Amino acid sequence: MAVTAGPSRRIVEIVFAAALIAVAGAVFVLSADYPAESAAFPRVLAALLALCAVVVTVRQLRHGAEAGGQPFFAHLPRFLLAVVILVAYVAAIGVAGYLLPSFALAVGLPFVLGYRRLALTVPLALGTLAAIVLIFNVVLERPLPPDVLMHLWETVR
Amino acid sequence: MKRVFRAGLMGVAAAVALSGSALAADYPTKPIEMIVAFAPGGGTDVAARSIASFMEKHLGGGARIAVINKPGAGGEIGWTAVAQAKPDGYTIGFINVPAINALVVEGKAKFKMDDFQPIANLVYDPGVLVVGKNSPYQSVKDLVEAAKAKPGSIAIGTSGAVGSSEHITILNFERLADVKLTHAPFGGTAPVRQAVLGGHIPAATMNLSEALQLSREGEIRVIGVMSEERSDYLKDAPTFREQGYDVVAGSSRGIAAPKGMPADIVAQLEAAVDKALNDPEYLEAAKKAEIPLHYLASGDYKAFLDKSTADLEATWKVSPWR
Amino acid sequence: MIDALVHALPHVFAPANLLAVVIGSIAGLVVGALPGLTVTTGIAILIPITFGLDPLFALGMMAGMYNAGSYGGAIPAILMRVPGTPASVATILDGYEMTKRGEAAYALQVAVVSGVIGSALSAIALILFAPPLVKVSLLFGPAEYFWLAMLGLATISALLGDDLVKGVTASLIGLLIGTVGQDLTSGTERFTFGSLELMDGFSIVVLLTGLFALPPVFQMAEESIKEGMSAAALKFRKQRSVLREWRYFLPVWLRSSAIGVFIGIMPGAAGSMSSFLAYNDAKRVARSPETFGQGNPEGVAASEAGNGADNAAALIPALSLGIPGSGVAAIILGGLLVHGLRPGPQLFRDHPDVVYGFMLQMLLSAFLLLVVGGLAATRIFGQVLRLPRVVLAPLIILFVAIGVYAVNNAMFDLYILVGVGLVAYVMEKLGYPQAPVVLGLILGPMAESQLRLSLTISQGNPAVLVSSWVSIIIALLTALVLVTPLYRAWRERQRKPAAA
């Protein structure tokens, strides 16, 4: 249990509020370079945002002890896994194109999360990709991200 | 492994390129990408999609042209993509004068005008200055006098933002007429037209084709056309020149490719555009829609591009728009 | 006009043109339901194909696509919490809650019927009241638009959720995101860090999908749910029938449609405003506003009726003046031009059969939607939910990823998507509502730029903001929207001690 617990809700609450204050500060600093009329609106927003974030933090510090004790994540390792897989997926699209990483994601993510009926996931992944290529690429002429499969196809031809 | 493969391919490509005519004879062997630097549904996009199907027909041999939208940053993203593409004839793009030259002159863009191989110009739409039907201004002179009486009191609406071609035109006009106007950017043609019609703004600039119908109906008044001569579409509207202000401006759409494209492919594409523009079916649709077609072959188009850039450079020196 | 309508009827019901509306509706449903694809894209691709065809064939396809596409966004919004357009965000609020409760089929039914009613009423407004409505739209200049944006922002008060501070924080986050990009009035590039991709600000579709579609995926991964929804939850017959409950929905439909038509005729107003304004209005007059956001079908009905009513109305200024009231109306104008139909009063004189034919097609396509969208499509789409969630989630990502990429054909947007998704998941778990982010994002830039535009035109004289009666009325409406919830709270407090 200790492994899966992760930070408490209260900690995340305060960290998020702190991040908002940091963003507000950054906005304030960055807009110093802009002409006054362009800087005014974002600066007002940043000030209000920081104020709200301070209120949230103070509330947590004063009352949060009882309510904020429980862990924030239901299952931290699985969450981190999902994040890593998603980031890897998007990065892979940039390298290898859309089709291969998508197939890997559609089959792989359920697999690592414990759903192992490949007889369902593999045809489903193939069918979905076929539908996507048909609608986006063939009918509507929207290009897919440049794909290694396409290179292969062209060299084979 | 892949690199070796690529190198091999390049060798083959080079060999084929040496016998240029062989390549051109086969061209195109795969779909040509036509990059449009604006979102689907915009004026340039519709123009591109319309002409693409006719170019396919006149390129012959089952040629395919795929229109690819790369919108963003006022066209800069798409134009950069064209400039940086491989000049193998399979990437061409629509460019818009003077917006593209303005980016170059500002020194902001990652490309130079020399990075493009002009293919052909298709459309030239002169700018116009319009007022609402109840406006007191009957001529450009009226407006100039009112502006002189109270500098800055007259706001001119444009569809663009700061640094757009319409803004640059206003700056030019201010200098030539020695007046102070206020530029009010609406960021779109629909809102600015609505504002003129509703009397929310004293005057506005737009393209002639956008003003035709409303002006014929008497909803707005075109007080100055920014072309050398009066337009055939709107004979009654005087030019700026007639009224003593040498303002000539407009926007054009044409097709360009990355520089270094084989001359025979340029010629093939150029011919395809020419034939497409003269296709009876296209011509009829264009006529009905009153699209101001203005074909310029590659050489003339280049001269036109160079002149536009030079003009903008001159403007930038006296009145930078940023 | 009656003559023209009667004259146009046989053309509208000619088999080929009828078929065009059906094909358009099916295509519209698909592009509307897929994130990243829009009706605008669909029609843009359609236009060159329709060269030389009968105008009513081409326009029929556009009419079908328009109405069906605007409803199509509701399907993934309700079933999977994927908003195809900003307009579907208001539908998500209650629609997805209903799905979680096992009322997916009913929610879809409410959405489609409400969409049909909104679209149909809007088409009727287009046919009957175009001239006076155009006059209304001309009353709106920058100052009036500024107040309209403020009115829209005031409706955030209906979306704040239980925790006021967090609701306000979320709105501020949205407003701040909205300032990214080139500032229209002065040309300053704000918070772009020199990136070209950010010059026009964040792409709204990318933010929407990140905000709404990704958090459930993370949640699914954490909980690793291996079951799907039972078939019973997706049966139509077992659930309530919207048509039988028409009396209950009628007031919501009428009010929302009126709002949708009003926003539709405004070229400068964001189209998604109509669904938010309608949602807010429905919640404001509802007997139990606290059930909104927890799966109240009235919320879905209001949002979708408002959204549908935006459609044909946006054509009113487009056809009569050549000023499109929405992005889709703009591209339809392009389609008209290709057929030599130039918008303006003369269009009604010179080509009455085509204009009135097209208007009838808008009406017809609204009703066809009931068949295409209501019966066939929602049954098919609904079955998707029977997949185990752990299998469905990655498939949603496939569609979201390609859709987000298709918006600008840029990898950049995919990275933004993941980043936004992560932040949104944390926000959701901490109880920050997402809808205010969206509204701030859409209306903030409108409010700021219109305010600065009106001040530019008036040379800095703030009196311009209250110089017309339209401005004053909208400003008062804004105040009303803000005060209503406060008044309600005050009355509740008054009543409670008495009851105790």
* Complex-level ipTM: 0.91
- Grade residue C373 by pLDDT with cuts at 50, 70 and 90: confident
CB pairs under 8 A between B and C: 165
Mean pLDDT in residue range B195-207: 92
Q: List all residues of chain C from 218 to 237 with a beta carbon under 8 Å from chain A.
A: 218, 221-224, 226
Assess contact for B143 and B137: CB atoms under 8 A: yes
Assess contact for C317 and C134: CB atoms under 8 A: yes
- Res. A50: pLDDT tops 90: yes
Q: Among the listed ranges B177-181, B238-242, C490-494, which one has the minimum average pLDDT value?
A: C490-494
Tens-place pLDDT, residues C300-346: 999 999 999 999 999 998 888 878 877 788 888 878 877 778 777 77
**CB neighbours (10 Å) of residue A20?**
23
- Grade residue A65 by pLDDT with cuts at 50, 70 and 90: low
Q: Which residues of B touch A143 (CB under 8 A)?
A: 33, 66, 68
Assess contact for C289 and C93: CB atoms under 8 A: no
Q: Which residues of A touch C41 (CB under 8 A)?
A: 140, 142
Neighbouring chains to A with at least 3 Cβ pairs closer than 8 Å: B, C
Q: Among the listed ranges A18-22, A83-87, C47-51, which one has the minimum average pLDDT value?
A: C47-51
Neighbouring chains to B with at least 3 Cβ pairs closer than 8 Å: A, C
* Cα–Cα dist C1/B238, whole Å: 37
List the single residue in B with minimal CA-CA distance to C195. B73
Mean pLDDT in residue range B262-276: 92
* Cα–Cα dist C373/C300, whole Å: 16
Mean pLDDT in residue range B163-172: 86
Q: Which residues of B touch C449 (CB under 8 A)?
A: 187
Residue from A70, A142, A147 to probe the interface with C (highest C Cβ count within 10 Å): A142
Return mean pLDDT, chain C. 86
| Helix, strand, coil content of chain A in percent (nearest 5) | 80, 0, 20
E strand or H helix at C399, and its extent? helix C389-408
- Res. C483: pLDDT tops 90: no
Mean pLDDT in residue range C44-67: 85
Number of domains composing chain C: 1
- Res. B282: pLDDT tops 60: yes
Give CA separation, B45 vs B42, B66, B291, C47, in Å: 5, 12, 14, 11
**B115 and B202 part of one domain:** no
Q: Is C197 on the interface with A (CB under 8 A)?
A: no
Nearest Cα residue to C399 out of C204, C217, C234: C217
Separation in Å, CA of C5 to nearest CA in chain A: 34
Mean pLDDT in residue range A21-50: 92
E strand or H helix at B127, and its extent? strand B116-132
Number of domains composing chain B: 2
Residue from B209, B213, B215 to probe the interface with C (highest C Cβ count within 10 Å): B213
**A39 and A83 part of one domain:** no
- Grade residue A6 by pLDDT with cuts at 50, 70 and 90: confident
**A96 and A57 part of one domain:** no
Q: What pLDDT sits at residue B162?
A: 79
Q: What pLDDT sits at residue A67?
A: 61
**A29 and A83 part of one domain:** no
**B271 and B220 part of one domain:** no
Angle in degrees, CA C100, C104, C110, rounded to 5: 125
- Grade residue C349 by pLDDT with cuts at 50, 70 and 90: confident
Q: Which residues of C touch A14 (CB under 8 A)?
A: none
- CA torsion sign, C157 to C161 to C165 to C170? negative
Rounded percentage of chain C residues whose pLDDT exceeds 90: 32
Least CB-CB distance to B155: which of C40, C48, C457?
C457
Separation in Å, CA of A58 to nearest CA in chain C: 12
Residues near C441 by Cβ (< 8 Å), separated by ≥ 6?
Answer: C174, C175, C177, C178, C202, C204, C207
**B188 and B100 part of one domain:** no
**CB neighbours (10 Å) of residue A32?**
8
* Cα–Cα dist A33/B16, whole Å: 54
Q: Among the listed ranges C37-41, C46-50, C328-332, C448-452, which one has the minimum average pLDDT value?
A: C46-50
Q: What pLDDT sits at residue A126?
A: 94
CATH of residue B185's domain is 3.40.190.10
**A58 and A81 part of one domain:** no
Chain B residues with a Cβ under 8 Å from any Cβ in chain A: 5, 9, 30, 33, 66-68
- Res. B12: pLDDT tops 50: no
* Cα–Cα dist C4/B264, whole Å: 54
- Res. C73: pLDDT tops 70: yes
As to burial, measured by CB atoms within 10 angstroms (0-12 exposed, 13-18 middle, 19+ buried), residue C36 is buried
Residue B238 lies in a domain: no
Q: What pLDDT sits at residue B6?
A: 41
Nearest Cα residue to C252 out of C301, C310, C311, C290: C301
- Res. C173: pLDDT tops 90: yes
Separation in Å, CA of C343 to nearest CA in chain B: 7
Return mean pLDDT, chain B. 85
- Cβ separation of B68 and A143 shorter than 8 Å? yes
- Res. C402: pLDDT tops 70: yes
- Cβ separation of A141 and B67 shorter than 8 Å? yes
- Res. B214: pLDDT tops 60: yes
CB pairs under 8 A between A and C: 161
More confident residue, B91 or C87: B91
- Res. B8: pLDDT tops 50: no
Q: Is B43 on the interface with C (CB under 8 A)?
A: yes
Least CB-CB distance to A37: which of C186, C226, C394?
C186
Residues near C355 by Cβ (< 8 Å), separated by ≥ 6?
Answer: C4, C319, C341, C347, C348
Rounded percentage of chain B residues whose pLDDT exceeds 90: 44
- Res. C382: pLDDT tops 90: no
Q: Is A128 on the interface with C (CB under 8 A)?
A: yes
Rounded percentage of chain A residues whose pLDDT exceeds 70: 89
Q: What pLDDT sits at residue C83?
A: 84
Least CB-CB distance to A79: which of C169, C176, C218?
C218
CB pairs under 8 A between A and B: 8
Neighbouring chains to C with at least 3 Cβ pairs closer than 8 Å: A, B
**B110 and B165 part of one domain:** no
Q: Which residues of A touch C417 (CB under 8 A)?
A: 90
- Cβ separation of B66 and A143 shorter than 8 Å? yes
- Cβ separation of C267 and B214 shorter than 8 Å? no
Least CB-CB distance to B66: which of A141, A154, A155?
A141
**A53 and A105 part of one domain:** no
Q: Which tokens is B137 given? A: 């201004």
Using CA atoms in the order C47, C52, C55, C61, what is the torsion angle rounded to 10 degrees? -40
- Res. C66: pLDDT tops 60: yes
**A13 and A49 part of one domain:** yes
**B118 and B186 part of one domain:** no
Q: Which of A42, A67, A92 is the last residue of a domain?
A: A67
Give CA separation, C476 vs A145, C261, C272, C463, C480, in Å: 50, 20, 22, 16, 6
- Grade residue B204 by pLDDT with cuts at 50, 70 and 90: very high
- Res. B4: pLDDT tops 50: no
Residue B214 lies in a domain: yes
- Cβ separation of C48 and B50 shorter than 8 Å? yes
- Res. C498: pLDDT tops 70: no
Q: What pLDDT sits at residue B11?
A: 41
**A93 and A148 part of one domain:** yes
**B103 and B149 part of one domain:** no
Domain membership of residue C393 as a residue range: 2-499
- Grade residue A156 by pLDDT with cuts at 50, 70 and 90: low
**B179 and B100 part of one domain:** no
Residue B240 lies in a domain: no
- Grade residue A66 by pLDDT with cuts at 50, 70 and 90: low
- Grade residue B113 by pLDDT with cuts at 50, 70 and 90: very high
Q: List all residues of chain C from 116 to 175 with a beta carbon under 8 Å from chain A.
A: 165-166, 168-169, 172-173, 175
- Res. C240: pLDDT tops 80: no
Domain membership of residue B278 as a residue range: 2-124+251-318
Least CB-CB distance to A105: which of C169, C394, C421?
C394
Most trustworthy range by pLDDT among A125-129, B47-51, C28-32: A125-129
Number of domains composing chain A: 2
Mean pLDDT in residue range B138-158: 93
Beta-bridge partner residues of B127: B207
Domain membership of residue A46 as a residue range: 2-67
Mean pLDDT in residue range A30-48: 91
- Cβ separation of C426 and A16 shorter than 8 Å? yes
- Res. B5: pLDDT tops 50: no
- Cβ separation of B9 and A155 shorter than 8 Å? yes
Q: What pLDDT sits at residue C95?
A: 92
